[in-house]
Amino acid sequence: MKKIISALISVLLFLNIGSILTFAEENGKTESYRIYVSANGNDEGDGSVSNPFATLKKAKEYVKTLDKSKGDIVIEIGDGTYYLDETLTFDETDSGTDNCTIRYVASDNANPVISGGRKIEGSWNDEGNGIYSISYNRDEKLRSLYVNGNRCFMTSNVAKAHGGVNKTVINEGQADWA
């Protein structure tokens, strides 16, 4: 009985593998272009493995110039953090065709991070009681802060009046912090 079940499983596995191989052969496409992106790259480069682009935006723009009738296009993204200054938007002009699939993939053993945040660099000051500060010049509101992958919260202070009641309104632009 065990031999019959074992033989049946072998036949089923063979049929499944055979159907997968047939599917791959029928739908297999050749890869015509492989473009490389590296956190240490240069957008003046040509996107080759020896001269990769530095940004996804540049790779995306370059893909639009390629002949999509020749086969698939793979954009290989290296390890590192890729900071975006603006939203990276894809539309139908960034899609493939019947003859071409466009794929963005991580390089082997790479864990690329695509971030809309900005890295704050400099020397942190220990203010005591677990509070640290750093000078950060910005022209936009700081929406969130992460330190070593953990979300942190900005300190706050509630001022209490020592006298009469008064109402003060500060409008946007009236003070540099408003």
Residue 74 has pLDDT above 90, yes or no: yes
Residue 29 has pLDDT above 60, yes or no: no
Number of H helices, E strands in the chain: 2, 9
Structure tokens at 3: 């031999």
- Smallest Cα–Cα separation from 105: which of 65, 68, 78? 78
Per residue in 41-71, pLDDT (tens digit) is: 999 999 999 999 999 999 999 999 998 888 8
SS3 content of the chain, % helix, strand, coil (to 5): 20, 25, 55
Domain boundaries, the chain: 29-115
Per residue in 90-136, pLDDT (tens digit) is: 888 888 888 889 999 999 999 999 988 877 888 889 988 888 888 88
Q: Choose the weakest-confidence range: 1-5, 14-18, 38-42, 153-157.
A: 14-18
Whole-number Cα distances in Å, 56 to 12, 86, 88, 102, 116: 43, 11, 8, 13, 13
Q: The pTM is what?
A: 0.59
DSSP character string of 104-117 = EEEPTT---EEESS
Which class does domain 29-115 fall in? alpha beta
Main-chain dihedrals φ then ψ at residue 104, nearest 5 degrees: -105, 120
